Amino acid sequence: MEKIEDKNRQQEEEQVVNPWEVSAKEGGKIDYDKLIDKFGCQRLDQSFVDRVQRLTCRPPHVFLRRGIFFAHRDFNDILDAYERGEKFYLYTGRGPSSEALHLGHLIPFMFTKYLQDAFKVPLVIQLTDDEKCMWKNLSVEESQRLARENAKDIIACGFDISKTFIFSDFDYVGGAFYKNMVKVAKCVTYNKVVGIFGFTGEDHIGKVSFPPVQAVPSFPSSFPHLFSGKDNLRCLIPCAIDQDPYFRMTRDVAPRIGYHKPALIESLFFPALQGETGKMSASDPNSAIYVTDSAKDIKHKVNKHAFTGGQESIEKHRQYGANLEVDIPIKYLNFFLEDDAELEHIKKEYGAGRMLTGEVKKRLTEVLTELVERHRRARAAVTDEMVDAFMAVRPLPNMFD
C-alpha cells in the first residue's frame, strides 16, 4: 500500500493528495503522472474512449474526450463484462460540508449522469454527512441539513429517479450495510489505516473508524432492497483522484471477504480561478464559480479573477501568443465547451496571439452562464418531496432499462 504524507507536514517537497487535502509542490501544479505512478492506477487512453463509444453507441462525454477523466482501475474489466451482457452499477458520493456548490463539485456528477444514461445502469449516491460532522465539526443536525440541500443540487444534475438511490450515512447505516462495514473493518489494521490516511494519536476514533463507511457502498450486498440476489454485480466508481486511498483500501479487502473489487474511473482536479495550484475552495468565493452565481457574478469573476496566460500588452501578446499551459479560461473551456472544433480553433488562435484574452473570457462567460442557468432551472424543479423519493429505501425495478 502506498504511504501518503502526514498532512501535518505541510512544507514537504512532495505534493499532497488525500481526501482532505490537495496541494501541489511549492508554487507548481499537480503532477498527475507522478500521482498515477504513486497511487498505482492506470492511464485512460484513447482506446478506452473509442471502446466506450462503440459499446454505448453514442459520442463519448466531453470529459472523456478531453482527458478530464484520465485514470482508472479495472475499467477494462467492467467493459469486458458489459460486452458479455453483464451489467454493473455506479457509486459516487459527496461530502456535504457546505451549502455552496461550485462547478468543481458538479464534475463527477455530470460525468456519472452520462455514464448512467450511456450504459443504462443504476446508481447509488452516498452523502457522507457523518464524515463532515466529524471532520468539520458540524452538529449532526447541520450536517444532515446540508446533506439534503446538496442532494437537491445533485438531483438537478439530471439523474433518473427510477434508477438512482441517494442515501445519507446518518439515515442508512445499519442492517446489511453495517454488516459489511464490520467485515471490512476486520480486515484493516490500525497501522494500515494510519498509513493510508495519515491519522495520528490525536485524531478521535470517529475518524479512524470512518473509512469502512465509504468503502462498503462498493458491494451490492450493502443494498439488499436494490441488489438482493445479485452478489456478483460489479461496481464502477467515478470520482476525483483524491478519493483513491479509500478505494485502494476497499480493493485490498474485497477479495478477502468474497466480493468483486470495485472499478474506478478518476478525474483531474478542477483548477481554481486563480490558477492551478490546487482544488477550488468552498471558503473563498472568488476561487470558484458557484451554481448560485448570477450571470453578472460569473462575468465579474471570469474577468477579474481568472488567471490568464495572456501577455502583458497587446503587442507582446500578438508577438508571443498566450501561454496555454497556465491559462485558466482555456482550461475551463476544456472542461465545458462541447464543440471540439471550436475549442481547437480558440486554442490555436489564442496560442498564436491572434485572439485576445478578452475574447476567450467572453466565450467562457457565455458557456458558464448557460451551464449555471440550466442547473438553476433544474434545481428550481426539485422539491422536498422529490428528495424524499430519491432517498427512500425502495426497490428500483427498472434500474437496468
Partner 1 sequence: MGYSKDQLLARLKELQIEFSQYEHPVVLTVEAQAKYVGNMVGVLSKNLFLKDKKHRYYVVSALADTKVDLKVLSQRLGLGKGGLRMAPEEALGEILQVPLGCVTPFAVVNESARHVSLLLDQGFKSQECCIFHPLSNDMSISLNAQGLDTFLKSIGRNPSYIDLEANPPIGKDQPPDLAAFVPSDSPVLSDLPEKAPSAQDSTGKSVGAATNSAAVTAKAVKPSGNAQNVKEKPVDSVRPSIPAADAGKFVEELLDRASALLISEDSIKQHGGQLGAEVANNIKKCLREDIKNLATIFKNTAYTEGFYAGTRYQPKRL
In the complex with partner 1, the residue whose CB is nearer, 162 or 200, is 162
Least CB distance to partner 1 at residue 389 (A): 4
The CA distance from 320 to 318, in Å, is 6
Least CB distance to partner 1 at residue 106 (A): 14
In the complex with partner 1, the residue whose CB is nearer, 356 or 386, is 386
In the complex with partner 1, the residue whose CB is nearer, 159 or 210, is 159
In the complex with partner 1, the residue whose CB is nearer, 134 or 166, is 166
∠ CA(287), CA(112), CA(306), 5° rounding? 20
In the complex with partner 1, the residue whose CB is nearer, 182 or 389, is 389
Least CB distance to partner 1 at residue 185 (A): 34
As a whole number of Å, the CA-based R_g of the chain is: 21
Least CB distance to partner 1 at residue 395 (A): 12
Closest CA to 45 of 78, 11, 76: 76
Least CB distance to partner 1 at residue 341 (A): 11
- Spell out the alpha helix ranges (H) of 45-85: 46-56, 62-65, 75-83
**Binding region for partner 1 (CB under 8 A):** 155, 158-162, 374, 377-378, 380-386, 388-389, 392, 394
The CA distance from 111 to 96, in Å, is 19
Least CB distance to partner 1 at residue 155 (A): 7
First to last CA, the chain: 39
Burial 289-306 (b: 16+ CB within 10 A, else e): bbbebeeebbbebbeebb
> Residues for the chain: how many in total?
401
In the complex with partner 1, the residue whose CB is nearer, 269 or 335, is 335
